[in-house]
Amino acid sequence: MSSNSCTGPTCRFTGPKSGATPGRCTKTAGYISNAEIFEILGAGNGSTHHDTGSDSDIALYGDNWVSFMTPNTTSGRRTKYKGLNFGGTSEWAVDLTTWMLPFDPINIFASNVDWTKAPPKSLCADINRDPTTVIPALGGTTPVATRPGKMPSSTGTACQRRIRRCMVSRQK
């Protein structure tokens, strides 16, 4: 934001030269995941209010401002659009909504994982790691023991959206 005193949707943004504090997992100024927002707010490091005009929630922490939606706001919007006979709604970047454990491609429906207790610090440690060093299918090696032709049970990262982008760009 160009002014720390502005707290609504009509505030002037600084655009690509954002002075916002990067998220510890997304590591990009001006782009932060819901998991990071809820972690900041859960630690008592900010305040929120609902902006009725935009039907959005706004969080203020330090000199940062972010618009997001709580589960209540999301539910309210779904109800509103369903009542208007829309075909449905979508959630952008669902993989950034909560902290995720490393992906297990062999057991994608594992039910023994308590996703709410994922340790986020270690999950973000390898966000910028070259995926070919941990995924044999991309020509790399892995410290995780795997059977021939099988993916490793842990890729060492939780920020899967970033890793998927890396994999797609390397395959082109």
Determine the pLDDT at residue 81: 93
Sequential pLDDT tens for the chain (172 residues): 677 777 777 777 776 677 888 888 888 888 888 889 998 998 998 899 999 999 999 999 988 888 899 999 999 999 999 999 998 888 777 667 777 655 555 555 555 555 555 555 444 544 444 444 444 444 444 444 334 444 444 444 444 444 444 444 444 4
Q: What DSSP state is assigned to residue 21?
A: P
Domains of the chain, first to last? 15-83 (3.10.50), 99-171 (no CATH)
Q: What DSSP state is assigned to residue 115?
A: G
Biggest alpha carbon distance in the chain?
58
| List of residues 6+ apart from 36 with CB closer than 8 A | 23, 24, 25, 26
Q: What DSSP state is assigned to residue 8?
A: S
Q: Alpha carbon of 146 to those of 100, 112, 120, 153: distances in Å?
A: 22, 21, 25, 8
